[in-house]
Amino acid sequence: MTLWFGDVAAVDLPAMAGGTLIENLGIEIVEIRDDALVGRMPVDRRTVQPAGVLHGGASVALAETLASWAGYLAVDRERFHVVGQEINANHIRPISSGWVTATVTPANIGRRAHVWEIRIVDDASRLVCISRCTLAVIEQRSTYSTPDARA
């Protein structure tokens, strides 16, 4: 059984990321599983802090991006929109190069709120950050769109 609502293969997440923070940070969707969404982000000049390690805010941006995409895919997008309501993150280990990969799974999917858990690991599968994000589910058609439609 899948978490997702409708035909997620027809949803073009990369096209909607154009012209956003998602694109600027180099966040990519890697895999849509029946029970999880997986994405990755480079650890490079765009995502490190002055000390040369992954910026905690970049990890949080990755976590909220994946949670938001998961929430978006889990609802009837013609009837509902999801927005971030709360996020927390524990930064476990520094990383200075390569990629971080985030896997988002549901802790709870309710009618009015979702809680998602996001685990971010390095290229050696070591835990870098763990986050939890709560999304509010709003009764309105989703406003996620491509850059042309936002213009």
Catalytic residues: 64
CB distance 120 to 66 below 8 Å: no
Tokens 């600027």, located at residue = 24
Rounded CA separation 44/9 (Å):
30
Query: DSSP label at 10?
Result: G
Tokens 């909607």, located at residue = 16
Burial of residue 50 (number of CB atoms within 10 Å: 0-12, 13-18, 19+): exposed
Rounded CA separation 8/108 (Å):
20
